[in-house]
A and B are shown apart, each in its own frame.
Chain A
């Protein structure tokens, strides 16, 4: 092959076909990204072992639109056959149910907005599967994430993918620092268009397959319906909808799991101006709503914060930060709890809308992911948040 398959910046020399360069375990979803990673590594002479994770039974039999459905596993198998490397399906249904789906339901029940993709990365791909890679004698685990891991000055750093439209570093903040050297993201230097065209060039059967976007296990229904089906009637927290500031009760709702901070549609009450969910109080079952101008806050705390740039973080750092995937990074100051570095207090330079407990806050220095944590409490906007 004359084109560099993986990375235009790769210093890997061209190899003779047939030269084995170590065992690469590739996490395959059946989509074009991971298919290309596996095919390219195989073509570069790595002894590829493809592993797809079976995470759930079919959410609704007809759904084939998100990754990791049975059809997608068959697609991954087709790629493996085409490029002649062993391929296995790992049955992680129980782990997925216990660690991801139960969490998803519990978070909505607690009035928070969960981020299951981060958990799936932390607990399945880069934990269970990474361990399996080691036991299978692999040299590294490769996935189709758009992010980079680079070694600079003896330290492995997690960086944004160069394709800013696709950058997935936000979902990867929970990787363990010591594991970065065992993981490769071969797509980090490529754009999606490049991946598609190289996949087509290489003859990857899934080159033109559409993107998957939705949360994979929910199926075609709404998140609220998915959660509701898994709650007993006693667990459904009903209560009032109240206006922040005045405390006026505007109506009642059929369960806090149906609401997300920042939500406007489907609240079921109206005001003079559009109203948004500002805060959800699970204890009292109250959904607080407010006008758009009252949704912004500057302070929040994080818990279960993971640090990638340091073993022990500094007490105070200035960084940029995202509280959502696909958000323009904002400037912030982070104070780390001196007695527990998994807890931080964040102060934003300017107020930010719809900071949702349960979502991830990820700290960056330019392209580098310094760390990140789970948003716990949010306060201190232009208006008092409490009742």
Chain B
């Protein structure tokens, strides 16, 4: 039986359009340094700027500034390391936001305020107004990577606008999958290519409204000195070509598959987390009573099914997801949770059958 890949929130395999574009540009064998002044460099520059504009268009960004990075972690860090003063964010953010914020707070460079949330992973937007009083910056994800909960960006942007606080949005899990609504109060946005079938290793940071960033690794003048290092022209090109296909419509078709998948798991006594919250159409975090996530992952993998649980350390052992612990789910419960994330290849499939396949594997 062929493998069943249910881990698209970790990375979604390269879509055919992106692969075709990548093959084409790499296949030409040209030098691809967009910073060189010669004709070859100019050719690369043209491709890079074209990709930049296509990605800006796909994001519907009214600003014209896009800094290419190696991915979402780097984009988030570019923003965070330029912050001073009081920062408002959420404990449910990705580790590439929570970890640097905590580190900078520990050395006294920032003061963090965490927006409360309910047991479904929804921010308490009613509390935002007060929390933002006297704050200097706000950071929030567009959709949570573990639970799939979609943030009420309009509420965040509205509250930030009232308080005069610039808002950064990490749209890694949304861009390329759902239409991205970016209200006016948003002054910077993190984008990632590979969560929606672009190449792993390219991302971007969108900027406007005077948002300033400084290079985390000082070096050359690339990206107007904000992100030194030779730009990844080929990956940017492939990403842009993929976005032009508007495959987000595919992803939106996953909701009925996901719902049927979850219903099947629920018949076996599993509990879907954050079910009452608005969620990405592809993401299910599921608690299996009496389950052990580590062992369930092994059973699934041996049965040909890829899923995920928590965060893997460098050695490959799994620790409970910080998002689940912050929900808060107790450590014991967090160790019973698996995350399944569907992708474009599952559109039109019977979610019930997928759920059944998972249950059979776990029953071994």
**Which A residues are closer than 8 A to B by beta carbons?**
49, 52, 54, 70, 73-74, 77, 86-91, 93, 132, 135-137
B37 interface residue (CB < 8 Å to A): no
Q: Across the interface, do B317 and A89 meet the contact criterion of CB distance under 8 Å?
A: yes
Contact of B364 among A74, A90, A135 (CB under 8 A): A135
CA–CA, A91 to B364, complex, Å? 21
CA–CA, A86 to B314, complex, Å? 17
Residue-wise interface mask of B (289-330) relative to A, using a CB-CB cutoff of 8 A (1 in contact, 0 not) = 000001101110110000000000111111100000000000
The 10 closest A-B pairs by CB, nearest first: A54-B317, A73-B315, A89-B317, A91-B317, A89-B316, A70-B315, A88-B298, A137-B364, A89-B315, A91-B318
**Interface size of B in residues (CB-CB distance below 8 Å):** 15
Asked if A86 meets B316 with Cβ closer than 8 Å, knowing A91-B294, A132-B295, A136-B364, the reply is no
Within the complex, what minimum Cβ distance (angstroms) separates A370 from chain B?
Answer: 35
Q: Across the interface, do A73 and B299 meet the contact criterion of CB distance under 8 Å?
A: no
Within the complex, what minimum Cβ distance (angstroms) separates A324 from chain B?
Answer: 33
Within the complex, what minimum Cβ distance (angstroms) separates A201 from chain B?
Answer: 28
Q: Across the interface, do A54 and B302 meet the contact criterion of CB distance under 8 Å?
A: no
CA–CA, A90 to B318, complex, Å? 8
Asked if A135 meets B315 with Cβ closer than 8 Å, knowing A49-B302, A86-B301, A86-B302, the reply is no
CA–CA, A70 to B317, complex, Å? 10
The residues of B that contact A91 with a CB separation of less than 8 Å are: 294, 317-319
Chain A residue at smallest Cβ distance from B319: A91
The residues of B that contact A132 with a CB separation of less than 8 Å are: 295, 298
Asked if A136 meets B302 with Cβ closer than 8 Å, knowing A90-B294, A91-B294, A91-B319, the reply is yes
CA–CA, A91 to B297, complex, Å? 13
Beyond the given pairs A54-B317, A135-B299, A136-B295, 6 more chain A to chain B contacts, judged by CB atoms under 8 angstroms and listed by A's residue number, are A52-B315, A70-B314, A86-B302, A91-B294, A136-B298, A136-B299
Chain B residue at smallest Cβ distance from A87: B316
CA–CA, A73 to B318, complex, Å? 13
**Which B residues are closer than 8 A to A by beta carbons?**
294-295, 297-299, 301-302, 313-319, 364
Chain A residue at smallest Cβ distance from B301: A86
Q: Across the interface, do B316 and A88 meet the contact criterion of CB distance under 8 Å?
A: yes
Q: Across the interface, do B317 and A137 meet the contact criterion of CB distance under 8 Å?
A: no
Q: Across the interface, do A90 and B302 meet the contact criterion of CB distance under 8 Å?
A: no
A-B contact pairs, 14 of them (CB 8 A): A49-B302, A70-B314, A77-B316, A86-B301, A86-B302, A88-B298, A89-B315, A89-B316, A89-B317, A91-B317, A91-B318, A135-B299, A136-B295, A137-B302
Within the complex, what minimum Cβ distance (angstroms) separates B306 from chain A?
Answer: 12
CA–CA, A54 to B314, complex, Å? 11
The residues of A that contact B314 with a CB separation of less than 8 Å are: 70, 74
Give the interface SS of chain A, mostly helix, strand, loop or mixed: mixed
CA–CA, A247 to B314, complex, Å? 55
The residues of B that contact A136 with a CB separation of less than 8 Å are: 295, 298-299, 302, 364
Within the complex, what minimum Cβ distance (angstroms) separates B70 from chain A?
Answer: 23
Chain B residue at smallest Cβ distance from A72: B315
The residues of A that contact B299 with a CB separation of less than 8 Å are: 135-136
Q: Across the interface, do B364 and A54 meet the contact criterion of CB distance under 8 Å?
A: no
The residues of A that contact B319 with a CB separation of less than 8 Å are: 91
CA–CA, A74 to B313, complex, Å? 11
Chain B residue at smallest Cβ distance from A69: B315
CA–CA, A132 to B302, complex, Å? 13
Within the complex, what minimum Cβ distance (angstroms) separates B209 from chain A?
Answer: 42
Chain A residue at smallest Cβ distance from B314: A70
Asked if A74 meets B298 with Cβ closer than 8 Å, knowing A135-B364, A136-B364, the reply is no
The residues of A that contact B318 with a CB separation of less than 8 Å are: 89, 91
Chain B residue at smallest Cβ distance from A55: B317
The residues of B that contact A137 with a CB separation of less than 8 Å are: 302, 364
Q: Across the interface, do B316 and A135 meet the contact criterion of CB distance under 8 Å?
A: no
CA–CA, A89 to B315, complex, Å? 7
Within the complex, what minimum Cβ distance (angstroms) separates A42 from chain B?
Answer: 15
The residues of B that contact A88 with a CB separation of less than 8 Å are: 294, 297-298, 301, 316
The residues of A that contact B301 with a CB separation of less than 8 Å are: 86, 88
The residues of B that contact A49 with a CB separation of less than 8 Å are: 298, 302
Q: Across the interface, do B364 and A73 meet the contact criterion of CB distance under 8 Å?
A: no
CA–CA, A268 to B153, complex, Å? 69
Within the complex, what minimum Cβ distance (angstroms) separates B296 from chain A?
Answer: 10
CA–CA, A286 to B80, complex, Å? 58
CA–CA, A6 to B327, complex, Å? 50
The residues of B that contact A77 with a CB separation of less than 8 Å are: 316
Q: Across the interface, do A90 and B315 meet the contact criterion of CB distance under 8 Å?
A: no
The residues of A that contact B316 with a CB separation of less than 8 Å are: 52, 73, 77, 87-89
CA–CA, A54 to B297, complex, Å? 16
CA–CA, A267 to B237, complex, Å? 71
CA–CA, A129 to B85, complex, Å? 50
Interface centre among A91, A93, A135 (most CB of B within 10 A): A91
Within the complex, what minimum Cβ distance (angstroms) separates B334 from chain A?
Answer: 13
Chain B residue at smallest Cβ distance from A30: B315
Q: Across the interface, do A74 and B302 meet the contact criterion of CB distance under 8 Å?
A: no
Chain A residue at smallest Cβ distance from B318: A91
Q: Across the interface, do A54 and B315 meet the contact criterion of CB distance under 8 Å?
A: yes
Interface centre among B295, B301, B315, B318 (most CB of A within 10 A): B315
Within the complex, what minimum Cβ distance (angstroms) separates A133 from chain B?
Answer: 11
The residues of A that contact B297 with a CB separation of less than 8 Å are: 88
CA–CA, A132 to B299, complex, Å? 10
Within the complex, what minimum Cβ distance (angstroms) separates B356 from chain A?
Answer: 19
CA–CA, A52 to B295, complex, Å? 13
CA–CA, A87 to B315, complex, Å? 11
Within the complex, what minimum Cβ distance (angstroms) separates B99 from chain A?
Answer: 17
